[in-house]
């Protein structure tokens, strides 16, 4: 995946390995794409499918003109209402967002040297435990039912008419997005650059 100042490679995420943004755009044109990519300014948004995850993936950053390079990661969760298969996702309602945490650099490992850049940095993305995956805001059940009605209709409201808590088996909280923030300074002019990679993850089984 190529930005103006650097290239980022996902080594063990099959749908990105060895690919650049132009190839991903070609993938988006297929009738049944594995993922979609949208680019806007300094941010790229990736829409992945159920079962795909950016967690514990090795990435390399190539960029000779950069100093003070830092990559941070965060995640978001959303609430979904389930009914033995079908589900009502409330991704446009309340969202919990974790704090940004730096990704640690891997050291003393042999890595591929790109012909584009020298001295790449190799890092591994974070993995989240079950407690982290279930973090969410305190919500009013009345407000929740109103949102279910607006988002998914009266039939879904009837299914949760006796709901008293988001800890009910019909409610599930899951990760709906991963975010990578790359910050650095250019050696040539000292300008700080910030780029975001937003990975949209579908809720559900």
Residue 19 pLDDT: 46
Judge whether 20 and 2 are in contact, CB under 8 Å: yes
The 10s digit of each residue's pLDDT in 21-30 is 444 445 444 4
> Strand 58-62 and strand 36-40: pairing?
unpaired
Its pTM surpasses 0.85: no
Sole residue written with tokens 């940004």? 100
* Residue range 5-33: mean pLDDT, rounded: 56
pLDDT in tens, 39-87: 666 788 888 777 778 898 888 888 777 788 889 999 999 999 988 778 8
State residue 77's pLDDT score: 95
| Contact (Cβ atoms closer than 8 angstroms) between residue 111 and residue 9 | no
Can you read off the two tokens belonging to residue 59?
């990435």
Q: Which residues contact 172 (CB under 8 A, 6 or more apart)?
A: 79, 80, 81, 82, 87, 203
Beta strands in the chain (DSSP E): 7-10, 36-40, 43-47, 58-62, 66-82, 87-89, 96-97, 101-102, 121-124, 171-186, 192-200
Residue 84 CA to residue 38 CA, distance in Å, equals 33
Percent of the chain whose pLDDT exceeds 90: 31
């Amino acid at each position: 995946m190529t930005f103006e100042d650097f290239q980022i490679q996902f080594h063990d995420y099959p749908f990105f390995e060895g690919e650049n943004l132009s190839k991903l755009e070609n993938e988006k044109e297929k009738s049944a794409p594995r993922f979609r990519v949208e680019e806007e300014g300094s941010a790229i948004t990736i829409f992945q499918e159920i079962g795909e995850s950016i967690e514990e993936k090795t990435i390399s950053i190539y960029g000779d003109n950069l100093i003070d390079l830092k990559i941070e990661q965060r995640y978001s969760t959303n609430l979904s209402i389930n009914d033995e298969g079908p589900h009502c996702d409330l991704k446009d309602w309340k969202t919990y967002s974790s704090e940004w945490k730096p990704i640690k650099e891997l050291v003393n490992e042999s890595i591929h040297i790109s012909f584009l850049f020298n001295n790449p940095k190799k890092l591994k993305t974070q993995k989240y435990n079950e407690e982290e995956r279930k973090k969410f805001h305190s919500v009013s059940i009345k407000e929740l039912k109103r949102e279910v009605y607006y988002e998914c209709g009266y039939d879904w409201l009837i299914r949760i008419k006796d709901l008293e808590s988001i800890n009910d088996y019909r409610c599930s909280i899951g990760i709906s997005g991963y975010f990578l923030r790359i910050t650095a300074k250019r050696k040539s002019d000292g300008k700080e650059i910030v780029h975001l990679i937003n990975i949209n993850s579908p809720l559900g089984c």
